[in-house]
């Protein structure tokens, strides 16, 4: 099976999905992830069905399967904080509709930060929000992302993700997105990824794993920082990331890079090329800048 690899791309109001697909093609990627608007706010333009149609045609011509494409919910949405319950749920419902109208079936969501109400109440708030937002006819899977544990972030470990899933009624509409940088920062040793996968399978179940964010980390294990680094440049390292990307049990799962731009240059074309070659490019940063 062919490696399914792509990156975060932009989704601009003027060309929408068409622009996202063209950017993906420019990276020699075969999948992509985008926010339907700015990640730090919730203002969204209506999805243009003409542009969606054109984007989907362009994808077909370039062998990009819509089943592997991912939308990321804005990180300002905090389901763990019940103060904004009605707003959060309304936004999430609308976002699910936007994602569905684009033909995408995976929405990655940060579980949220409890900001003082405590872990148990925070988890309950997330469960309550998901149970109102998800309906029998929802076609999109909400993929809860594993988090670095910065501040009061929830989803710092598989146990917390499992507790959320346990509370959700419509479990077929819930999945998980693993993020390698977050796993490292929350204390998982990625040099022993087989153990991590076994633990994931035992606690949550591998069938829930739908997306993997592939990022290196600027910080050592267990520092709870969440600062992504370019592939092979950070503390996780190239060999550990390659083992994850090509892991037998993860075939068919889209791998998405969310690594930082280098002086305003996207790193994705060079990183994807290096990943396909399975060999670290000593000149990575230089090549990105060229």
Per CB under 5 A, residues contacting Zn ion are 179, 213
Rounded to whole angstroms, how far apart are CA atoms 129 and 112? 11
Q: Are strands 228-229 and 216-217 parallel, antiparallel or unpaired?
A: antiparallel
C-alpha closest to that of 103 among 36, 187, 188: 36
Tokens of 161: 């993700």
Instruction: Report in angstroms the alpha-carbon separations of 65 from 2, 68, 91, 270.
Output: 12, 6, 27, 22
Q: For the CB of residue 61, give the shortest distance to Zn ion in the complex, in Å.
A: 29
User: In this complex, which beta carbon is closest to Zn ion, that of residue 213 or of residue 218?
Assistant: 213
User: In this complex, which beta carbon is closest to Zn ion, that of residue 98 or of residue 182?
Assistant: 182
Q: What is the H or E stretch that residue 12 is in?
A: none
User: In this complex, which beta carbon is closest to Zn ion, that of residue 55 or of residue 271?
Assistant: 271
Question: For residue 242, how many C-alpha atoms fall within 13 Å in the half-sphere facing its CB?
Answer: 14
User: In this complex, which beta carbon is closest to Zn ion, that of residue 179 or of residue 271?
Assistant: 179
Cβ–Cβ contacts within 10 Å for residue 182, how many?
27
Q: For the CB of residue 223, give the shortest distance to Zn ion in the complex, in Å.
A: 16
Q: For the CB of residue 278, give the shortest distance to Zn ion in the complex, in Å.
A: 23
Q: Is the dihedral of CA 207, 144, 256, 95 positive or negative?
A: positive
Q: For the CB of residue 283, give the shortest distance to Zn ion in the complex, in Å.
A: 26
User: In this complex, which beta carbon is closest to Zn ion, that of residue 18 or of residue 183?
Assistant: 183
Q: For the CB of residue 184, give the shortest distance to Zn ion in the complex, in Å.
A: 12
Q: For the CB of residue 288, give the shortest distance to Zn ion in the complex, in Å.
A: 20
Angle at 130 between CA 129 and CA 133, to 5 degrees: 85
Angle at 8 between CA 79 and CA 129, to 5 degrees: 15
Rounded to whole angstroms, how far apart are CA atoms 107 and 173? 10
Determine what percent of the chain falls in helix, strand and coil, rounding each to the nearest 5. Answer: 45, 15, 40
User: In this complex, which beta carbon is closest to Zn ion, that of residue 146 or of residue 270?
Assistant: 146
Q: For the CB of residue 145, give the shortest distance to Zn ion in the complex, in Å.
A: 6
User: In this complex, which beta carbon is closest to Zn ion, that of residue 89 or of residue 181?
Assistant: 181
Length of the chain: 290
Q: For the CB of residue 179, give the shortest distance to Zn ion in the complex, in Å.
A: 4
Which residue in the shown chain puts its C-beta closest to Zn ion?
213
User: In this complex, which beta carbon is closest to Zn ion, that of residue 6 or of residue 55?
Assistant: 6
């Amino acid at each position: 099976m062919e490696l399914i690899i792509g990156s975060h791309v932009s989704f601009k109001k003027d060309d929408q999905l068409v622009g996202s697909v063209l950017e993906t093609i420019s990276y020699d990627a075969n999948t992509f992830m985008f926010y339907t608007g700015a990640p730090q706010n919730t203002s969204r333009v209506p999805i243009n069905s003409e542009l969606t149609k054109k984007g989907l045609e362009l994808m077909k011509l370039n062998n990009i399967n819509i089943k592997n494409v991912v939308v990321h919910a804005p990180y300002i949405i905090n389901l763990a904080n019940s103060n904004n319950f009605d707003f959060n749920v309304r936004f999430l419902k609308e976002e699910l509709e936007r994602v569905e109208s684009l033909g995408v079936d995976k929405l990655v969501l940060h579980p949220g930060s409890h900001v003082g109400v405590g872990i148990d109440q925070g988890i309950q708030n997330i469960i309550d929000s998901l149970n109102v937002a998800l309906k029998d006819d929802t076609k999109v899977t909400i993929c809860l992302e594993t988090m670095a544990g910065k501040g009061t972030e929830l989803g710092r470990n598989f146990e917390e993700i499992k507790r959320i899933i346990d509370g959700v009624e419509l479990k077929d509409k819930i999945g998980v997105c693993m993020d390698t940088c977050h796993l490292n920062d929350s204390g998982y040793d990625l040099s022993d990824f087989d153990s991590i996968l076994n633990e994931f399978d035992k606690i949550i179940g591998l069938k829930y794993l739908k997306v993997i964010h592939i990022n290196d980390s600027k910080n050592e294990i267990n520092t709870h920082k969440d600062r992504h680094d370019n592939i092979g440049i950070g503390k996780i390292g190239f060999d550990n990331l390659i083992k994850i990307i090509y892991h037998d049990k993860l075939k068919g799962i889209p791998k998405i890079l969310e690594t930082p731009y280098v002086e305003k240059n996207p790193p994705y074309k060079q990183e994807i090329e290096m990943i396909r070659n399975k060999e670290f490019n000593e000149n990575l940063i230089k090549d990105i800048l060229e």
